[in-house]
Structure 1
């Protein structure tokens, strides 16, 4: 299977049509169609189902897409290693992450990594858990960090550790001295919550439904950063993982109290990579640093 044919195939799969791939590649539709036909002849099976809404991958096409993405990414890594031999390498690690991890933990880890790899560059994309894992599965990021409730297909988990949701509040809050709090305890105070696409919000709503607790947030925001300002110096409470708030607890005079609800205790933090992909040494070294720092940080949580 030739590289150019795989490249055209990947573009058609992503665009959903020959014309869409043609616009992205600046290549004639007829040329792309010929390459797809050759791949289908070689595979001995149709790679797409042609429909009015466009071209949808067949079962064979989905298998080939996984192979094609992995092959193209590994070729890119080899070319970068060859460039390094000539002193012309542009070292970069592409990372996708949810906002809670990207707020302070990841940038701090990147800065520490550059102490040993001073020429390393990072590209960080912050999004919802679903989008983070999609970018990793499609090769747009080498690794993804997200809080997950279920395992996604096509990905390999390199790190997984329980990361419960905490109630975060001002240090002088009436509940601040508790060893833990319940969802019923939270009912008496204004709640600041992340958006509906986050794992924390989904778990919170599930926990409330199972315990027949009704809590309407006083503030809901798609970005967790403004929630800190809402909680600071007030009786409001926000939800967050220990890793998301640990760097601001002392600075903002906040405390993180565990929540006794089983659903909010079930969350895990994962580092995931594309299944079967061979990562460059620099990325493996960065993953090793992340795993070590996460172990230390999560072991310190209450």
Structure 2
């Protein structure tokens, strides 16, 4: 930005919370540690509440400090949105967009979004945070991101769902896997084959654990990770299978590197993928372009993976 609307003391609080100490924040910002410490103490005196716990090895935000960090991020987001609006008033297609999305989209939809912005809208800056669905919903509600795209997004009062689509759960295998000749499969048929799996803390695995606890109890994964790229690398080697949604492997399905076998088990609820904005805040043109690209590209990848015509936006 050419102008700075976020008060400097708030930036210092945010930096200390992020880096863990006044000294680390000083190195990151290039500001004297004494100046940062002085501003933080002034804020604490003015608010009559400590912003940090002073620990032997650093500083940790208190509840008041966390609230101030959230306010700082919202302030910065509003300042960037103002800058975007002013540029649009001047007829310039510029601006910043803050997006929250999942790691499973990183090497597919999000990579395509980056390439499209670079080619078609090179003056739009994208800030992307990889977050879990609950975190993405919270960031959207707090105003620190403008657009969120996530699996089974928690519904909040002020959300506006731009687009949502039901997904399928299935078994992912390489073309040479023993299950690869099937058009569909079931958990019972997959049982006994070596598995890889997402970590138990991730939403997809949590759903499967809650609904089909017997499956993972009887089929302990040979590899569990929160890195989807690592898991897909193991799948491409051909000896293991993974239970997940089709969303996680759209690029690999399009290239024929992996296969998706829909699960025919009864009672398996369809997960959803959604693009969501906050209805309380006007959407900038830049953010609207980003949300439209996310919807269009995801629809295209899903249609290609399923061999079906494109479904209309908002369905």
> Could you state the TM-score of these two structures normalised by the residue count of structure 2?
0.67
SS in 2 for 1:249: helix
2:237 counterpart SS class: helix
Q: Alpha carbon RMSD of aligned pairs, Å?
A: 4.6
Q: Which runs of 5+ in 2 are unaligned?
A: 309-315
Secondary structure of the structure 2 residue equivalent to 1:166: strand
SS of 2:151's partner is strand
Is the counterpart of residue 32 in structure 1 residue 36 in structure 2? yes
Partner of 2:69: 65
CA distance in 1, matches of 2:302, 2:45: 52
Which residue is 1:50 aligned to?
53
Judged with a 3 Å threshold, the aligned counterparts in structure 2 of structure 1 residues 32 and 263 are, in CA distance, closer, same or farther, namely farther
**Structure 1 CA distance, aligned partners of 2:223 and 2:242?**
9
- How many residues are aligned here? 294
- In structure 2, the residue matched to 1:117 is 121
Tell whether the 8 Å contact from 2:151 to 2:273 is kept in structure 1 after alignment: yes
Residue 233 of structure 2 corresponds to 226
Report the alpha carbon displacement of residue 133 of structure 1 after superposing the two structures with TM. Answer: 4.1
Query: After superposition, where does 1:90-109 map in structure 2 within 5 Å?
Result: 93=97, 95=99, 97-109=101-113
Which of 13, 16, 30 aligns to 2:17? It is 13
The within-5 A match list for 1:1-302 is: 3-42=7-46, 44-53=47-56, 54-79=58-83, 93=97, 95=99, 97-112=101-116, 116-120=120-124, 122=126, 129=132, 133=136, 143-148=147-152, 151=154, 158=161, 161-169=165-173, 174=179, 176-179=181-184, 181-196=185-200, 198-210=202-214, 213-220=217-224, 222=227, 223=229, 224-231=231-238, 236-249=240-253, 251-252=255-256, 254-260=258-264, 265=269, 267-271=271-275, 280-294=284-298
Cα offset, 1:68, TM superposition: 1.8
The 8 Å contact of residues 193 and 227 in structure 1, kept in 2 or not, is answered as: no
> Aligned partners of 1:65 and 1:262: how far apart in 2?
46
Say if 1:282 and 1:19 are closer, same or farther in 2 by CA, change over 3 A: same
SS at 1:46 equivalent? coil
TM-superposed deviation, 1:5: 1.9
Instruction: Report how far residue 186 of structure 1 moved.
Output: 0.8
Q: Distance in 2 between matches of 1:198 and 1:218?
A: 17
In 2: Cα distance, 1:31 partner to 1:128 partner: 33
Deviates more, 1:187-196 or 1:115-124: 115-124
